[in-house]
């Protein structure tokens, strides 16, 4: 496993790779963690059988969605089907980090999904199953896992 801190320009380049991809699947994990699957269907993961897409975004336990009317809803206000309907057939417009390293995902229908941290942002951006960006001790870190 390789871990390294990224420079600002590298972070911007990594985040830009998520823009313009279609939202292919939206689903919830434990405790309403939100998963956004982006791009084309690639296949199934060997161990879990779960579908694999080009890239995916994990938003941890606490996040909000601001809809196209400017109304902000917390994750607890949303039911799985309602958020799926809001994001259905959309594309990612941009992915950014704010000054506290919270993740902001804007989709083309003007919805914005934002993580809400308590000083410990909880999100991950997966470029592939073996390569992802997350926050570790307040610092954006790229992690690449290699074979056993």
User: Within a domain: residue 90?
Assistant: yes
Q: What is the mean pLDDT of residues 13-36?
A: 88
**Confidence band, pLDDT 50/70/90 cuts, at residue 14:** very high
Tell me how many domains the chain contains.
1
**Confidence band, pLDDT 50/70/90 cuts, at residue 51:** low
CA dihedral 63, 56, 68, 80 (to 10 degrees): -70
User: Within a domain: residue 140?
Assistant: no
User: Within a domain: residue 46?
Assistant: yes
Q: What is the mean pLDDT of residues 57-67?
A: 88
For residue 65, what are the domain limits? 2-128
Would you say 91 and 57 are in contact if contact means Cβ atoms under 8 Å apart? Answer: no
User: Within a domain: residue 34?
Assistant: yes
pLDDT attached to residue 129: 79
pTM above 0.75, yes or no: yes
Q: What is the mean pLDDT of residues 60-79?
A: 81
CA angle 77, 50, 74 (to 5 degrees): 10
């Amino acid at each position: 496993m390789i871990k390294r801190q990224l420079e600002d320009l590298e972070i911007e380049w990594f985040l830009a790779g998520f823009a313009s991809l279609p939202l292919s699947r939206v689903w919830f994990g434990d405790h309403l963690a939100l998963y956004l699957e982006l791009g084309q269907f690639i296949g199934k993961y060997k161990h879990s059988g779960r579908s694999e897409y080009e890239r995916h975004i994990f938003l941890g336990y606490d996040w909000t969605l601001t809809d196209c009317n400017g109304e902000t809803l917390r994750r607890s206000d949303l039911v799985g089907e309602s958020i799926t309907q809001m994001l259905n057939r959309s594309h990612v417009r941009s992915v950014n980090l704010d000054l506290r390293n919270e993740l902001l995902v804007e989709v083309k229908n003007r919805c914005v999904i934002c993580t809400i941290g308590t000083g410990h942002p909880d999100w991950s951006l997966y470029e592939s199953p073996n390569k992802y960006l997350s926050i570790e001790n307040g610092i954006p870190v790229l992690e690449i896992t290699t074979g056993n």
